[in-house]
Structure 1
Amino acid sequence: MDGEFQLGDDLRGRRIVVAMSGGVDSSVVAALAKASGAETIGVTLQLYDHGAAVKRAGACCAGQDIRDARAVADRLGIAHYVFDYESRFRDGVIADFADEYARGRTPIPCVRCNQGVKFTDLFGIARELGADCLATGHYVQRVVGAGGQAELHRAIDPARDQSYFLFATTQDQLDYLRFPLGGMPKAQVRAIAADNGLAVAMKPDSQDICFVPDGDYAGIVKRLRPETAEPGDIVDLDGRVLGRHRGIAHFTVGQRKGLEIGGSPYPLYVVRVEPEARRVVAGPRAALAVAAARVEDMNWIGGDHAGPLMAKVRSMAKPVPAWLDGDRVRFATPEYGVSPGQATVFYAGERVLGGGWIAETEAALQVA
């Protein structure tokens, strides 16, 4: 199955499995798949307790979203199956999220979810169902290169691009995946949903991390790892005590809000978190400048990495010039707010080359 399926493509005799979360994006993917003439099967993974999650506005793959996905499937006249992956999601994503905070790192649960539940497990389901491909509502583009190999590219809409969260995609997965929305603006996606009479056409997008819809990250971390709620000192770069905190669960590198320390001649930011000592180190913004970072568990999905690259160190950051030096990424100019636990993703133009997890950082300069 070459290229992306679009309205008007004739894929009769093919079978497409669509990952349906209950939102407008994956619903439109299902509509496009059905319109192509392919046999279309919707699959939803239940990731929360069905009863408790119904009331959680903004949570995906929960009670109301499952009902929305089923309603869309009924409207389109396609088969729809729900699989219970609550325990797998809890152990592989939510527990890892809390563990990372307990280690003083900044986690990215969306990448862990894509690596495990969404791609690995959904792949198995799709292949067991005899599908020719697995289609998702991610805003990225799959482009077939000159050599016939599938490449991962950024979405045409930079504000919607989700390529940072898909750096761990393998070549085998990319060969099997389809991302029909990567070349569309959101307005077009909603218009397609409305044209197909889908009730989710104007459904709000999910906000924040799906399993923390109220934005209270610290609450879930403290519940799962109570030690992160133990109070400790906030110190400056020389170890002088500036104040006290209510637990390291409330802090990540680069954070300014929540330190609540008066009398400083300059704004204070979280420079690092030291969980063993229950200590938060604060300093001026200059102390956040990073010259390089050690990257581990690299995943490379194409292209040459011998020369200059563009690197993105946070999901909302712009790619910046950098180069790889062994297992270290070195930035052409200092980067700010780079935190262990986050990822560095590498680009050549619009193409995603790969990425890895930030293990530690090198300060750009010494701050007195």
Structure 2
Amino acid sequence: MQGQRLANQRAIDAKRSSDTISDVLAADDLNELPDQNLAEGLSRIPGLTSFQDEGAGLYVGIRGLNQEFVNLTVDGMEVSSAARTWDANARGANLEAVPTTFVSQVEVIKATTPDLDGDAIAGTVNLVTRSAFNADKPWLSIGLAAGQYQEDVPSDDVGLSSKGNLSFGRVLGKQEKIGIVVDANFRNVERDNLKPYAFWGSAADPAALPVELGGYAYERKEASYGLTGKLEFRPTDSLEGYVSANFFDSETDLDKNKHALYAPNSDTALETFDGAVATIRNDKVDYGVDGALTVAGGLDWAMDERNTVKLAASTSTSSSYQDDPRVDWYFGGPLSGNYEATGES
């Protein structure tokens, strides 16, 4: 048995031997799915939901609970996840940061046990990293993709969007007692957005002029990159250990322009309005994750066929930021005019 069949069989065996309720997704399954990142791939597991931002999966929820109740671990070691500055509850492990090539399998633990961290209210997503010792031969894989978003926004022409990843692993030396695994990924997305909207003044009277009528036209740029590395050692058949490091950084820039008309007073019979004020708002929003870093290490000593001593430790840090300068311009004082109710929003 080999290839995808072997990977799936290992995932089934891991689920059967688990002491708790869990699901396991093999790396071969992840790489066969047409998903952009790990968060979207995990959403195919029963009970898991992907939370998206502008069309890209970032977080996962378990059994109806949001991402802030989900704990993320790498090889059993917890990963820090900073709360968003605009919402203290919007914390959650950003799974876009982890390339799927770095993972041999993903364990989704849905029932809390005493060995798990107390903040895993919904469950724990444990990423089991690849091992050079478990590979039949060295590997090197490189992936690149590029494209361009086309939107009917007249303000700017968006640039080229791209993403890529690199994965490398092998055993070093003639005695094959040291292994190394390195993965890197980047993502750069540029797009224009046009979002018209209207908040209707009266649900009972669909012909009424919206209290607020307008929309956003803005340019959005996203950039993120991650780097992970793992050094393994196996001096004897009964003793093995590792040291790993994971780094992630992201930034999102928005140049958002809002054009709106506030018209609180309207006559639906005459289709006229008065007391209206026009406004233009410009936001230059800059937010992201600043240098999230996790360093971990572990040591396993098989004393005999039944007893194994396991030691593990980790340190993790992450921070988020947001800069949102905004300028509002108001015109009119007040404005009046006519409108036509066509029945279209």
- TM surpasses 0.5: no
Task: Indicate the structure with greater helix content.
Answer: 1
The TM-score normalised by the length of structure 2 is: 0.25
The TM-score normalised by the length of structure 1 is: 0.24
Tell me which structure has the larger Cα radius of gyration: 2
Task: Indicate the structure with greater strand content.
Answer: 2
